[in-house]
Amino acid sequence: MEELHRKYKKVWARGLIVACPFGKELPDCPLREVRKLPLKERFKILEAMPEEELDRILEHHEKCSARREQEG
């Protein structure tokens, strides 16, 4: 079950590592610099990423999304 949960997180992170869903990332985005790398390198980084970092990125995304949706 834990492995399935980690795969779900990675699916979300894969999308986020490709591009910001809002079109332009904010200066505090933890993936801002990673997105400048070639796609293959981004995926390598994601595969090696510790779960704690993955959690931090997804938590940041949730907060950022909520804030941007409110600002409308």
* pLDDT of 71 over the 70 cut: yes
The range of the structural domain enclosing residue 59 comes to 11-71
Task: Indicate whether 3 belongs to any domain.
Answer: no
pLDDT of residue 4: 59
pLDDT of residue 1: 45
**Domains contained in the chain, number:** 1
Task: Indicate whether 19 belongs to any domain.
Answer: yes
Write the burial class of residue 16 (CB in 10 Å: 0-12 exposed, 13-18 middle, 19+ buried).
Answer: buried
pLDDT of residue 2: 62
Task: Indicate whether 29 belongs to any domain.
Answer: yes
Q: What is the pLDDT of residues 3-62, one digit of tens each?
A: 658 788 899 999 999 999 999 999 999 999 999 999 999 999 999 999 999 999 999 999
List, in order, residues 6 or more apart from 54 with CB less than 8 Å away.
6, 9, 10, 13
Helix or strand holding residue 9 (H, E):
helix 2-18
Going by the DSSP 8-state scheme, the letter that residue 18 receives in this structure is: H
Task: Indicate whether 24 belongs to any domain.
Answer: yes
